[in-house]
């Protein structure tokens, strides 16, 4: 399995936005397990930097972590508002564009 590293802020933002969209899709397809769409699931665990890091690095970590949580929320609500259309059984359908 290959997991590319995210070396730029743009790469991190793109990934976290996809993760947010995926959370909404999980809720849409499995509401009994992940909850109802419209309320994003809470992040698991609190990400905290190592206490041995300098204060400046810990603050930067906190700012980046908070920013990326917001990016996931944007991805979530983007999917929630403009996501896949559903048919009778709640199965998402892909729009066919010519």
pLDDT in tens, 24-50: 999 988 988 888 888 777 766 667 788
Domain ranges of the chain: 9-40+49-84
pLDDT digits (tens, 9 = 90+) for 61-92: 889 988 998 999 999 999 998 876 554 445 55
Structure confidence at residue 87 (pLDDT) = 43
Prediction pTM value: 0.73
Q: Which residues pair with 21 in a beta bridge?
A: none
Structure confidence at residue 95 (pLDDT) = 56
Q: Higher pLDDT residue, 13 or 51? A: 13
- Contact yes or no for 9/17 (Cβ under 8 A): no
């Amino acid at each position: 399995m290959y997991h590319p590293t995210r070396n730029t802020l743009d790469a991190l933002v793109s990934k976290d936005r996809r993760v947010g969209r995926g959370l909404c899709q999980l809720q849409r397809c499995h509401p009994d397990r992940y909850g109802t769409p419209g309320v994003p699931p809470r992040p698991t665990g609190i990400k905290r930097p190592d206490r041995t890091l300098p204060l400046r690095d810990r603050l930067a970590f906190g700012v980046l972590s908070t920013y990326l949580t917001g990016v996931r929320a944007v991805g979530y609500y983007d999917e929630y508002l403009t996501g896949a259309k559903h048919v009778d059984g709640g199965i998402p359908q892909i729009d066919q564009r010519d």
